[in-house]
Structure 1
Amino acid sequence: MSPAHRPAVTVVGIGADGWNGLPAPSQDALRKAETLIGGARQLGLLPEECTGERVAWPSPLRPAVPGLLAAHAGRRVCVLASGDPMFYGIGRALTDVLGAGALRVLPHPSSVAYACARLGWPLEDTETVTLVGRPVANLVAALHDRRRVLVLSAGSTTPAEVAGLLRQGGFGPSRMHVLEQLGSEKERCTEGIADTWDEPPGDALNIVAVDCRITPDAVRLGCVPGLPDEAYDHDGQLTKRHVRAATLGALAPSPGELLWDIGGGSGSIAIEWMRAHRSCAAISVERDPARAERIARNADALGVPGLRVVTGAAPGALAGLPAPDAVFVGGGLTSHGLLEACWDVLPPGGRLVANTVTLESEAVLAGWHRRHGGDLVRLSAAHAAPVGGFTGWRQAMPVTQWSVRKETTGITPHSDRIATAANIPTGDER
């Protein structure tokens, strides 16, 4: 390859087995590098024959990437990564900055590949959740009875945090394996049950494997919209289970999309939108500070701590927010300019769904339905309840729902909005 077409940066994956575990092309690239960039632990794995200038990543890492690469432009640069650089690794940040064509990536087996090999778990049937730079609550959405989950640890205390979360969520019977220094001579595996886990902190370089088992009395959090109402802390401002399922069906979340949830209440619509796929993001707008705090607590408890909560009244509180792919209006329909603001910001193909139980708001929705079409439906549910010594039906208040898809003339890409909307990192640079 001519110098003019040589990638600007070579990214080398390295494991706990260090230099001896690298294939010849990776070793050759590191020997020839004029600049070696990586974590202090990774740089320490290289022998003296790698003579390039060693530069440790600063903290925080991601904001420093463009400036650091610019400072070494024109040199042969190698960046070290743990395992596979493109699996929750630095490869994503480098691609964002330089573009894929400027990178040469030489991967190493990831810790996930090693863990599945040691445990005999098929990789395609195993969920992976990272807690590197993320709260432990991120694990909740991946917990389902008899499923297997691999947790990328943030450090030596992560196994105990995982065990605590499992006990709290009704998964105390789950078996845990903590695999340390995978691939090295110091490799070690500790196992036990979450309910009785009392192992002291071990090596910081570990991965936690969880074979999920749920207690019979735990609240089951399924994969589809319509979680049990008792899964939420609320003060009565909650879109009830059956209406919630119908609402999420109308909103139709797809991976990578952003939702505005206006009049968040308890946050149930935004939370279940985000539970639909790990890349879905949402912003919940709630004018009541106590309810806004409750939304954040519910988001943590139900495994989507990245939900962004904005405290304020719409439409004023919507100013400056990233444009959504879908909007749900659960309150404030009679507020002047609210529906106009939501409609104007939706891209072609965007969806708007609004629910109400009042005649005044129903009249507003009827007017918008006349102008823009869509579906106007009335949802009702009745629950069996005691009537003296017998059982009868108790009717809940009917909900009027308007759902509409903005006329399509071309879909606006949304992927660039997601990290900003959720206020979370787009990858774990390890």
Structure 2
Amino acid sequence: MLDLAGRRTVARIEAMTPPGRDRGVDALRALAIAGVVLGHWLVTAWVPGPGGTVSVSSPLAFMPELAPLSWVLQTLAVFFFVGGYAAARSLRAAGDPARARAAGPARARTDGPARAVGPAWVRARMGRLLRPVVPLVLVWAGIAAGLALHGAPYTTIRALALPALGPIWFLAVFAALTAAAPLLLRLRPGVTAASAAAVVLIVDAIRFGLDGPAWLGWVNLAAGWLVPYMLGLGWAEGGFASRRTAVALLAGGLAGTAVLVAGFGYPASMVGVPGAEVSNLSPPTLAAVAFGTAQVGLALLVRGPLERLMRRPRLWAVVALVNLSAMTIFLWHLTAAAVTALAALRFGAVPGLLTPPARLGWLPDRLVWLPVFAALLALAWTVTRRLNDRVSRST
């Protein structure tokens, strides 16, 4: 039961929500963020070694039968899909606010006025996306410096910092696609998404079929995530709205993923596994693109039911709060886990935190630590929100 303050918060959020707000899309974004956070918290492990070293590991490296866990919790494609949709809607509102208010949740093509505000819109978006990165980088610069001064091995510093700073890579790609959104809206979404998928196919063929250079795979970092982002732009423009299209994307994506994994040797895990020769995610492979397409199809199918579910004020309040904090949650969730592991190093082998994730019982042990991670993430959210408020007031 909610106390009086909780009920007032729920009522205030409900009252402040515009009538035309697409709550189903907000629910999709919240689910995507939750999937990323929970997935990382469950598969990122730190293992102490000799001489004070620490290495990164994953239960997927020891128990490949857990790969289906990554199919549920690797939701980045939905994140990019909803990001494309939101960018198109925001550009339309900036170009013609009256038309955007009248349209409500309906989706019509973005026209000239929306595109004309592109530069100002991009500057505002970049500020919102990139401002939370600065405190994160400063915190880890301080942690790394402190560890180095206390004689921590470089491998230990790297093992703690790299996963925590990993979200910046994806945010950088997301920011680049967002900056390009006014131009991308001039293109045909379906054709552009298919062309980007073709680029991923060609890159993978060269890398894996012709023994091409590994660095070429990083072309897929932009091309791979452009696919769901363009589908999101197209959805906001009135495309991909039919149930038949959603089912085709879901079925086609699943079939393509199955063929690539079973017939062409792509990893079954949709997240990176330490020590694995090939990762589906770093950089994205054709299997990741196919799987992401299936996720987009599923998102289109469940958006309607989610919209109806979000009419419940308490559920909507949770989703609204997650959306307001999406970037902070995304950027800081692995820092919460890494800082917990760092603080526990003095205690040696801590079950579920600083032990090899080599047995099934490791997962229940890790679940015990999730409330600690969540508490630290909430603390990071509180601190960064205050910092952002001060920056906003001073500019």
Category of TM-score, reference length = shorter chain? under 0.3
TM-score w.r.t. the length of structure 2 is 0.22
More relative contact order in 1 or in 2 (CA 8 Å, sep 6+)? Answer: 2
Higher helix share: 2
